[in-house]
A and B are shown apart, each in its own frame.
Chain A
Amino acid sequence: MIRGTVVGQVWATRKARGLDGQTLLLVAACDAEGRATGRLVVASDTLDARAGEDVTVAFGSGARNVLRPGPENRDVLCDAAIAAIVEGAG
Protein backbone atom coordinates (compact mmCIF):
# COMPACT_ATOMS: atom_id res chain seq x y z
CA MET A 1 0.00 0.00 0.00
CA ILE A 2 1.03 3.60 -0.27
CA ARG A 3 0.06 6.70 1.58
CA GLY A 4 -0.99 9.71 -0.44
CA THR A 5 -3.13 12.82 -0.76
CA VAL A 6 -6.24 13.06 -2.92
CA VAL A 7 -5.65 15.80 -5.50
CA GLY A 8 -8.58 15.40 -7.91
CA GLN A 9 -10.96 13.22 -9.85
CA VAL A 10 -10.92 11.67 -13.34
CA TRP A 11 -13.87 11.00 -15.65
CA ALA A 12 -14.00 8.72 -18.70
CA THR A 13 -17.04 7.90 -20.83
CA ARG A 14 -15.24 5.50 -23.18
CA LYS A 15 -14.00 2.81 -20.81
CA ALA A 16 -13.86 -0.88 -20.03
CA ARG A 17 -17.23 -2.16 -18.78
CA GLY A 18 -15.57 -3.25 -15.54
CA LEU A 19 -14.99 0.40 -14.61
CA ASP A 20 -18.71 1.26 -14.76
CA GLY A 21 -19.88 2.79 -11.50
CA GLN A 22 -16.38 3.29 -10.08
CA THR A 23 -15.35 6.71 -8.77
CA LEU A 24 -11.75 7.33 -9.85
CA LEU A 25 -9.62 9.71 -7.80
CA LEU A 26 -6.14 11.06 -8.48
CA VAL A 27 -3.86 10.43 -5.51
CA ALA A 28 -0.39 11.98 -5.12
CA ALA A 29 1.93 9.50 -3.38
CA CYS A 30 3.77 10.72 -0.26
CA ASP A 31 7.21 9.92 1.16
CA ALA A 32 7.97 9.13 4.82
CA GLU A 33 7.80 12.82 5.72
CA GLY A 34 4.42 13.26 4.04
CA ARG A 35 5.82 15.21 1.07
CA ALA A 36 4.51 14.43 -2.42
CA THR A 37 6.99 12.35 -4.43
CA GLY A 38 5.46 13.41 -7.76
CA ARG A 39 4.03 9.98 -8.54
CA LEU A 40 0.31 10.05 -9.33
CA VAL A 41 -2.01 7.07 -8.91
CA VAL A 42 -5.59 6.66 -10.14
CA ALA A 43 -7.48 4.81 -7.39
CA SER A 44 -11.06 3.60 -7.10
CA ASP A 45 -12.89 5.21 -4.18
CA THR A 46 -15.65 3.71 -2.05
CA LEU A 47 -15.05 5.85 1.06
CA ASP A 48 -16.09 9.22 -0.40
CA ALA A 49 -12.61 10.68 0.03
CA ARG A 50 -12.28 14.37 -0.84
CA ALA A 51 -9.51 16.44 -2.39
CA GLY A 52 -6.91 17.32 0.22
CA GLU A 53 -7.53 14.28 2.40
CA ASP A 54 -4.70 11.85 3.20
CA VAL A 55 -5.50 8.26 2.26
CA THR A 56 -3.94 4.83 1.94
CA VAL A 57 -4.16 3.09 -1.44
CA ALA A 58 -4.11 -0.71 -1.74
CA PHE A 59 -2.93 -2.41 -4.95
CA GLY A 60 -3.56 -5.73 -6.65
CA SER A 61 -5.83 -8.26 -4.96
CA GLY A 62 -5.91 -6.00 -1.92
CA ALA A 63 -7.62 -3.39 -4.10
CA ARG A 64 -10.17 -5.96 -5.37
CA ASN A 65 -10.94 -6.83 -1.74
CA VAL A 66 -11.88 -3.19 -1.13
CA LEU A 67 -14.42 -3.24 -3.96
CA ARG A 68 -15.76 -6.74 -3.40
CA PRO A 69 -14.44 -8.62 -0.35
CA GLY A 70 -14.33 -12.39 -0.73
CA PRO A 71 -12.74 -15.16 -2.80
CA GLU A 72 -14.89 -14.65 -5.92
CA ASN A 73 -13.58 -11.28 -7.01
CA ARG A 74 -11.08 -12.19 -9.74
CA ASP A 75 -13.37 -10.57 -12.32
CA VAL A 76 -13.29 -7.14 -10.61
CA LEU A 77 -11.48 -4.58 -12.76
CA CYS A 78 -9.45 -2.70 -10.19
CA ASP A 79 -5.74 -2.57 -9.40
CA ALA A 80 -5.73 0.36 -6.94
CA ALA A 81 -8.33 1.38 -4.36
CA ILE A 82 -8.53 3.78 -1.45
CA ALA A 83 -8.43 1.56 1.62
CA ALA A 84 -8.51 4.15 4.42
CA ILE A 85 -8.76 7.87 5.09
CA VAL A 86 -5.74 8.74 7.23
CA GLU A 87 -6.23 10.81 10.37
CA GLY A 88 -2.66 10.78 11.59
CA ALA A 89 0.79 9.38 10.89
CA GLY A 90 4.04 9.67 12.73
Chain B
Amino acid sequence: MFLGRVAGTVWSTVKWPQAQGLKLLLVRPYRLGDLPPGAAPVAGGTASEPTDDLVVCADTLDAGPGDDVIVAFGHAARVALSETLPPGSKPMVPIDAAVVGVVDRVEIPR
Protein backbone atom coordinates (compact mmCIF):
# COMPACT_ATOMS: atom_id res chain seq x y z
CA MET B 1 0.00 0.00 0.00
CA PHE B 2 1.03 3.61 -0.31
CA LEU B 3 -0.06 7.03 0.90
CA GLY B 4 -0.93 9.55 -1.79
CA ARG B 5 -2.99 12.58 -2.72
CA VAL B 6 -5.76 12.44 -5.29
CA ALA B 7 -4.70 14.63 -8.21
CA GLY B 8 -7.56 14.04 -10.63
CA THR B 9 -9.95 11.70 -12.36
CA VAL B 10 -9.70 9.52 -15.48
CA TRP B 11 -12.59 8.81 -17.86
CA SER B 12 -12.72 6.19 -20.56
CA THR B 13 -15.39 5.00 -22.95
CA VAL B 14 -13.62 2.09 -24.57
CA LYS B 15 -12.68 -0.37 -21.84
CA TRP B 16 -12.96 -3.91 -20.60
CA PRO B 17 -16.71 -4.56 -20.01
CA GLN B 18 -16.14 -5.69 -16.42
CA ALA B 19 -14.67 -2.29 -15.64
CA GLN B 20 -17.91 -0.47 -16.54
CA GLY B 21 -19.04 1.80 -13.72
CA LEU B 22 -15.70 1.81 -11.95
CA LYS B 23 -14.48 5.27 -11.00
CA LEU B 24 -10.78 5.82 -11.70
CA LEU B 25 -8.64 8.36 -9.86
CA LEU B 26 -5.14 9.70 -10.45
CA VAL B 27 -3.16 9.48 -7.19
CA ARG B 28 0.30 10.90 -6.60
CA PRO B 29 2.28 8.95 -3.96
CA TYR B 30 4.04 10.81 -1.14
CA ARG B 31 7.78 10.39 -0.87
CA LEU B 32 9.71 10.66 2.39
CA GLY B 33 10.81 14.25 1.80
CA ASP B 34 7.20 15.39 1.20
CA LEU B 35 6.23 14.73 4.83
CA PRO B 36 7.89 16.96 7.43
CA PRO B 37 8.17 15.45 10.96
CA GLY B 38 5.05 15.98 13.02
CA ALA B 39 3.01 16.85 9.95
CA ALA B 40 -0.56 15.71 9.43
CA PRO B 41 -0.70 15.63 5.63
CA VAL B 42 -4.45 15.58 5.33
CA ALA B 43 -6.07 17.99 2.93
CA GLY B 44 -5.35 21.51 4.09
CA GLY B 45 -2.46 20.34 6.26
CA THR B 46 1.11 21.52 6.30
CA ALA B 47 2.69 18.86 4.06
CA SER B 48 4.07 19.87 0.71
CA GLU B 49 2.51 18.38 -2.40
CA PRO B 50 3.60 14.81 -3.20
CA THR B 51 6.12 14.49 -6.00
CA ASP B 52 6.12 10.88 -7.25
CA ASP B 53 4.72 9.49 -10.53
CA LEU B 54 0.93 9.24 -10.83
CA VAL B 55 -0.90 5.94 -10.27
CA VAL B 56 -4.37 5.19 -11.69
CA CYS B 57 -6.57 3.67 -8.97
CA ALA B 58 -10.14 2.36 -8.80
CA ASP B 59 -12.20 4.14 -6.13
CA THR B 60 -15.26 2.89 -4.26
CA LEU B 61 -14.94 5.26 -1.26
CA ASP B 62 -15.93 8.42 -3.14
CA ALA B 63 -12.57 10.13 -2.68
CA GLY B 64 -11.97 13.35 -4.59
CA PRO B 65 -9.17 15.68 -5.70
CA GLY B 66 -7.15 16.93 -2.72
CA ASP B 67 -8.00 13.96 -0.49
CA ASP B 68 -5.14 11.96 1.00
CA VAL B 69 -5.76 8.25 0.49
CA ILE B 70 -4.29 4.80 1.10
CA VAL B 71 -4.00 2.72 -2.08
CA ALA B 72 -3.61 -1.07 -2.20
CA PHE B 73 -2.04 -2.96 -5.10
CA GLY B 74 -2.63 -6.35 -6.68
CA HIS B 75 -4.98 -8.91 -5.20
CA ALA B 76 -5.67 -6.66 -2.18
CA ALA B 77 -7.10 -4.04 -4.57
CA ARG B 78 -9.55 -6.59 -6.00
CA VAL B 79 -10.47 -7.75 -2.47
CA ALA B 80 -11.44 -4.13 -1.70
CA LEU B 81 -13.54 -3.94 -4.90
CA SER B 82 -15.26 -7.24 -4.05
CA GLU B 83 -16.72 -5.60 -0.92
CA THR B 84 -19.02 -3.63 -3.21
CA LEU B 85 -20.25 -6.77 -5.03
CA PRO B 86 -22.86 -9.32 -3.89
CA PRO B 87 -21.45 -11.85 -1.38
CA GLY B 88 -19.49 -14.63 -3.02
CA SER B 89 -18.98 -12.89 -6.36
CA LYS B 90 -15.46 -12.19 -7.51
CA PRO B 91 -14.24 -8.98 -9.10
CA MET B 92 -13.02 -10.26 -12.46
CA VAL B 93 -11.69 -6.85 -13.37
CA PRO B 94 -8.47 -5.63 -14.95
CA ILE B 95 -7.63 -3.53 -11.88
CA ASP B 96 -4.44 -3.73 -9.81
CA ALA B 97 -4.73 -0.59 -7.64
CA ALA B 98 -7.65 0.65 -5.52
CA VAL B 99 -8.30 3.29 -2.88
CA VAL B 100 -8.83 1.40 0.39
CA GLY B 101 -8.89 4.32 2.86
CA VAL B 102 -9.42 8.08 3.02
CA VAL B 103 -6.80 9.38 5.45
CA ASP B 104 -7.86 11.35 8.55
CA ARG B 105 -4.46 11.76 10.12
CA VAL B 106 -0.79 10.90 9.70
CA GLU B 107 1.53 11.04 12.69
CA ILE B 108 5.28 11.29 12.12
CA PRO B 109 7.18 11.56 15.43
CA ARG B 110 10.07 14.01 15.35
Q: Hey, which bits of chain A sit against chain B, CB under 8 A?
A: 7-19, 24, 26, 28, 36, 38-44, 51-52, 59-61, 63-64, 74-80
Task: Closest B residue to A63 by CB, please name it.
Answer: B76
Taken together as a complex, chains A and B put the C-alpha atoms of A59 and B75 apart, in Å, by 11
- Residues B38-83 near A (CB distance < 8 A): 60-61, 70, 72-77, 79-80, 82-83
Cβ-defined contact, A26 with B3, below 8 A: yes
Grouping DSSP codes into helix (H, G, I), strand (E, B) and loop, the A interface class, with mixed when no group exceeds half, is strand
- The answer to whether B109 has its CB under 8 Å from any CB of chain A is yes
Taken together as a complex, chains A and B put the C-alpha atoms of A63 and B98 apart, in Å, by 17
Cβ-defined contact, A18 with B105, below 8 A: no
Cβ-defined contact, A14 with B101, below 8 A: yes
Task: Closest B residue to A76 by CB, please name it.
Answer: B79
